[in-house]
A and B are shown apart, each in its own frame.
Chain A
Amino acid sequence: MNSKERVMAVINHQKPDRMPCFGANCMVTYEQMEAAQAFWPKGHEDGETMARLALASHTVLGFDAVRVPFCQTFEARALGIKIKPGKLPGNMEGIPGIDHPPLYKLDDTPVFPDDFLSRGFIPELLKAVRILKKELGDEVPVIAGIIGPFTLAGSLIDTVPLLKATFKAPDKIRPWLEIGEKAGTALAKALIDAGADIICCEDMTASPELIAPKTYKELELEFQTKQFDAISVPTILHICGKVDPIVEWMAQTGPNILSLDTKTKPHIVREKCGPDVVLLGGVDVATTLFLHGPDEVKREAEEAIADGIQILAPGCAVGPGTPTENLLAMLQVAKGH
């Protein structure tokens, strides 16, 4: 089987020749940048560089998918939000993020620009997907990322005011979730037209580590479901942290795959969500992959597989300083299953 057949087999509940291995979030590291001779910040902003860098997860690591983009600012930038470049101490390049102060206040009315898809770096992202598709055809799946409604709402009015509103005035959040859903869905459709095989929705602010599970159920569930209903290709939902209290509803929104942080135990998800949803995850990004060595990576990966993981992956976005040998150790484990 090639990578795409392998991944599709798991999604379709057939038996793959072995377990696939790839991340649902950013997989880029400094070592891959060197190998691909494609670097940040250009890799965030230029379609060709982005595509070249994304390819490294297959060519350098041997993972079963490639993934763009590498940050979570594309929709926000196109909606007019100020973005902070990914500068790190010691002049290192990191991941761009949302800048301060926010564009809107809770009581404002959000504006969705007609030319959304041609704003910011979205055209470059679409270009990257087209290049990747041309390069990889039906050999390796191209994953394209969008941001979930709740997280985008937080980009628009800032996260703390959003969190406070969930407690004080939950109904006022709806217009922000609406525009968040609309933006992500519009981007997803354009990404699919450009050739994306899988859409991954990252919704880190919807984590129970930030909002009450009740807020997820009463607000986000509806918008996330609407979004996945509108997407025609297989989908992944990623929410950071320990998602036990909401995971049942996460599965109800309709993704094919749930991407789990290592704080969430696969067997609990299986118990709560039933047999249909595919579980992706396995190795912690901040400790095991970043700070420890291949032996620890292998041990943690084996444990996760024994606990019900079906696609071996980093539990979240890979830290760019992560050593290649740790990522290769993951693939080695996947090859044994």
Chain B
Amino acid sequence: MHGAHFSLAATDTSLSAPAQDDGASNDADIDRPETAKGKRAHLPFGRLFVRLLSLVVFVALWQAASGNRLHLGLVNFQNVPAPSEVVPALRDLLQSPKIGAHVGSSLCRVFAGFVSAALAGIALGLMIGRSRWAADLLQPPLEMLRPIPGVAWIPLAILMFPSSELSMVFITFVGALFPVLLNTIHGVSGIDPRLIAAAKSLGAGRLRLLTEVIAPGAAPSIVTGLSIGMGTSWFCLVTAEMIAGQYGIGYFTWESYNLQSYADIVVGMLFIGVFGMASSVLVRKFGDLLTPWYQIGNACGHE
């Protein structure tokens, strides 16, 4: 009987249980099976309290350091805006008409770059994973480009594309492409060859094999690639916006530095964090919807 007992650690990949949490609290994990009577258990009140407290202490320390213009030699808090300055700046930005343009253009760029990277990465990955011919033809140049981080493409991208808009989308694309591509190849090569033999025996041709066996078989790995790719594409976009942008969250953050409105720098950073995290979670959740069997497999403690 594989009950839902082991389900928590495996399925709860949401924000409330980041990866480091599993290793850090071994003793707490031991009593999980008992507390979990089939349904999803919430954090015990005590642990929730500790977590909230830790956040409060962090903000308080930040306030203390910036409010007192602390100078620690190595690190200097003199020009770091305190939370008490950041909150009004955040309120101002939320009320200003610029916010829509900044967030909107960043989202559009990420969307365009990420979606095209996902399509290209999955298509190339399936081809390379399935056909030796495609692998020999496509892999050498891709292997050569792979170690170059998306950010290193910025100058060349500006030269290559007619508009800075396109060059930023391209950089986002490069950022997401390789995680998606590599995870797709990995997923395809991990498919049990017996499943392929079985599908052929049941009458599947080349195309059906791809849509019915290869693609779903590689799907969990592809989803992992997509969520990693989402993170890297945000990272690349924000950097690109700082250099080449007009509008966008990265641009806003860098502009605030140039205009010496330091509180806005932190507001920009907060936006970057929140949107980056939210889009990764979105990709994960979407991926989970696409791979329901995989969630069950995990929950049952099977491979």
A binds B: no
Binding site for A on B (CB under 8 A): none
